[in-house]
Structure 1
Amino acid sequence: MTGARVIRTALPAEAQDITALHARARATYYPDGVPDDGTDWLAGWRRAIERPDGHVLCAVEHGRIVGIASFRTAEGAPADTVYLAQFHVDPDRWRRGAGRALHSACVEEWLADGKRTAHLSVHVDNDRARAFYARLGWVPDPENPPAPGDHHLLLVYRVTGE
């Protein structure tokens, strides 16, 4: 299967497919359904794909997008720091290497761009994702512990290559 996988930059025309994958992945860690907070995810993905200061990579297998990663340098953050805003693998492709390959591509790009630290926020109830990130070297951010009642955990990754 790995020979049929390609990691590449997402195209604006793929925003609808990316939004659908995002919804499928998020639904797995909300037992009562994904909360409707009014976010227009399609518009958000279109902006992410088109923004000049950001990157959206996708893992494609046999012509189908099976993973997505969106990252950028956050406003006010040091120039060598990147924020991984979204990282999702289609649930029917879990544990088949797409996530690891996509993460490796992110790290390669971060290194090429001079990034040395990466941050992300993960839902505290998303045990599967937390274990995935831990296997890749992400750790809880000691400078930003979760506030009481916060549903997200901030993780940090030292970008040194894998």
Structure 2
Amino acid sequence: MCHPFVFKIKNKNILFVGGGKIALRKLKPLLKKQPNITLISPAIHHKIEAMAKEGKLKIVKRPFEETDITKQWDFVFACTDNHQLNTRIALMCKELSIPVNVASSKDMCDFYIAAVIEKELYSIAITTYGKDPTLSKRIKEKIEKALNNIT
């Protein structure tokens, strides 16, 4: 069972392994919270490269190595297109008690990224616990529309 928590991630050390569209989608909402993000991947989406050039994250352009998983990380995202590699990363993180989000397996995730509505006085998080991110996005849009009608 899951329960939503709100973490202060400013200055937290976050590792992303994988540099494609899924990493981009998970990465974008985190950036405005100013964590220290390092992304390791031999191939990097052009939008992620642009964010790195703006100083929003550090890119290490090479394949993942097992020595990359250390206690320095507060959170890890396994976002490669290789399910076996994602599983290996998840198991290494679990061994070190590092919370991990595994793009290819909702069951291996220790946490999920919610669709979030942020206003000055409140935040609303919507999650399907990794089952249907598109549904979370649609619910978010409907709630935003309803809130615009009352605020």
- Give the alignment's TM-score, normalised by structure 1: 0.28
- Give the alignment's TM-score, normalised by structure 2: 0.30
Say which structure, 1 or 2, has more relative contact order (CA 8 Å, 6+ apart): 1
Instruction: Give the structure with the higher percent strand.
Output: 1
